Every structure is written in structure tokens, then in C-alpha cells.
């Protein structure tokens, strides 16, 4: 939701600046430049990437406009609880906790391997491979939007050039509308630069940020699972996992723990 709000803010700011210079908003809307820039960008993306990667583009784009579900504070508290349980009752005691469908699949996979007695190095290698594959998939989506951000301005220039060719071709027949025709020709450049810097590249940047957040979450999970398998002291595990929290998250975690201890 915040992405939509700030996108609207950017568009309103551009429109307001344009009208302050006595421009008419209606002059900014032209079908042919939009077709060249957006249709051309889609076509270029289709050429640059296999269709198998483009099929999930809608879901990737949707991620930008949704709030990430990552909650590092809850994760640290959750694993500390599991560490206490396994230390008192053994690893098999958590089998019931991980049997439900509400648990994160990545956490369930790791803890199930621990309960099954899989070697720690195998658990570590398996989980890290899963993280690498997740990150690789994320990078594929990011690359598409970064490529779109590179194609769009160029297609904007192409749209402007084609419009100018038409203008110059009709120069001898109608000179009275020359100024308006030339100004319209540059709308394609505006569309190309605007779409790249307000949509495609910001989308790629946000996906990068979300990817970094998820990788941090996954690394915390791997560290916690390995510590639980090792039988490390719950308080020691608590201190290790708190290293993954930023200042705000750490304050929230300490606050919650303080309330629980009262």
C-alpha cells in the first residue's frame, strides 16, 4: 500500500510542476507514445527473458505492493521457546509442534530433519541450498524489472524519433501545427524516462530490499535450527539470535521479554 501512495505522490508532484508552468494535463496523454514505450518495453523483455521466467511476473510485481510477512522478533522468541522445550524433553518433543500446516515450510523442513536425526552438516547444506535457490529466483525477477528500466528510456527516444519523422514528413503541408506536433513527439521520451524511474527501477530496488530481508530471516532460521540440534543453552541461543535484530527490533524484543518476566 505504501508503494502505491508514494507512486501517487510522485505523479502528483510531476503533474503539479507541469501545470505550474501553465501546461495542460490533457497534453500529456497520447496513445501512440504509450503504445511504443510500454508495448515496446514488454516486447523487449519478452526477447530478453525466457517465457518460463515471465509467467510469474504478476506474482513478483504483486510482492512490491504487499507488506512482507517477516517478523524477526517473533522468530527469536519462537526458537527460544523450542530450545527450552528440547532441552527439557528432548528433540522428539517438538514433533507435534511442527506437524501443523500453520508453520513456515522452511522452518518445518529444518526442524523435521533435526527430529529425524539427520547429520548437522547435511541439515546445514540442505537448508543453505534451499536459500540459494530462493535467492536465485528472486534475482531473476529483479533482473526483469532492471532490464525494463533500461529499455523504457531507449524506447521513449525511439518513439520521439518516429514522431519527429512524421512531423518532418508533413512539414510542407501544415506548418501551423508544427509546435504542437513537436511537443507531442517528446511525450514518448517523457513516458520512457518516467516509467523507468517511477515504476521499473523502483520496483527492482524494493524487490532487492525484500530479498535482503528474507535472506536475513532464512539465515536466522538456519542458525537457530543448528543451535537447537547442537543442544545449546537457550539463553546462549537467545543472545546469538538477537544479533540478527536491528536496534528497533531489539528494543521490541527486550520490551516483550520484560513484560513476560513480570
Mean pLDDT for the stretch of residues 112-118: 92
What pTM was estimated for this model as a whole?
0.84
Specify the pLDDT at position 174.
63
pLDDT classification of 24: cutoffs 50, 70, 90: confident
Share the mean pLDDT of the chain: 88
In this prediction, residue 176 carries a pLDDT of 61
Q: How high is the pLDDT of residue 97?
A: 79
Between 211 and 178, the more confident residue is 211
Give every CB contact of residue 119 below 8 A, 6+ residues apart in sequence. Answer: none
pLDDT band of 262, cuts 50, 70, 90: very low
Predicted local distance difference test score (pLDDT) of residue 211:
93
pLDDT of residue 46 exceeding 90, the answer is yes
Q: Check pLDDT > 60 for residue 13.
A: yes
Give pLDDT tens digits for 232-255: 999 999 999 999 999 999 999 888
CA separation for the pair 108, 219 (Å, rounded)? 15
Q: Look at residue 111 in the predicted model and tell me its pLDDT.
A: 93
Count of residues in the chain: 262
Q: How much is the pLDDT for 67?
A: 72
Q: Which string of DSSP letters, residue by residue, matches 171-210? A: TTT--TTHHHHHHHHTHHHHHHHHHIIIIIHHHHHHHHHH
For residue 163, count other CB atoms closer than 10 A to its CB. Answer: 22
Please report, rounded to a whole number, the percentage of residues in the chain having pLDDT higher than 70: 95
Amino acid at each position: 500500500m505504501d508503494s502505491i501512495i508514494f507512486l501517487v505522490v510522485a505523479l502528483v508532484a510531476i503533474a503539479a510542476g507541469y501545470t505550474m508552468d501553465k501546461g495542460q494535463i490533457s497534453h500529456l496523454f497520447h496513445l501512440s507514445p504509450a503504445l511504443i514505450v510500454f508495448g515496446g518495453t514488454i516486447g523487449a523483455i519478452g526477447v530478453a527473458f525466457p517465457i518460463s521466467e515471465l509467467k510469474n511476473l504478476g506474482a513478483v510485481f504483486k510482492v512490491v505492493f504487499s507488506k512482507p510477512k517477516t517478523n524477526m522478533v517473533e522468530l527469536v522468541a519462537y526458537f527460544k521457546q523450542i530450545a527450552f522445550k528440547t532441552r527439557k524433553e528432548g528433540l522428539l518433543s517438538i514433533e507435534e509442534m511442527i506437524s501443523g500446516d500453520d508453520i513456515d515450510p522452511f522452518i518445518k523442513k529444518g526442524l523435521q530433519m533435526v527430529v529425524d536425526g539427520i547429520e548437522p552438516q547435511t541439515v546445514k547444506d540442505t537448508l543453505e541450498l534451499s536459500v540459494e535457490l530462493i535467492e536465485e529466483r528472486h534475482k531473476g525477477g529483479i533482473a526483469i524489472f532492471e532490464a525494463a528500466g533500461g529499455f523504457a528510456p531507449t524506447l521513449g527516444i525511439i518513439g520521439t524519433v518516429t514522431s519527429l519523422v512524421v512531423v518532418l514528413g508533413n512539414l510542407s503541408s501544415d506548418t501551423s501545427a508544427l509546435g504542437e506536433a513537436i511537443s507531442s513527439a517528446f511525450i514518448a521520451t517523457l513516458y520512457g524516462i518516467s516509467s523507468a524511474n517511477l515504476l521499473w527501477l523502483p520496483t527492482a530496488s524494493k524487490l532487492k530490499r525484500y530479498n535482503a530481508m528474507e535472506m536475513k530471516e532464512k539465515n536466522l532460521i538456519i542458525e537457530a535450527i543448528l543451535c537447537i540440534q547442537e543442544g545449546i543453552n537457550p539463553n546462549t541461543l537467545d543472545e546469538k539470535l538477537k544479533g540478527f535484530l536491528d536496534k528497533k527490533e531489539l528494543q521490541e524484543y527486550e520490551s516483550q521479554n520484560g513484560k513476560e518476566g513480570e
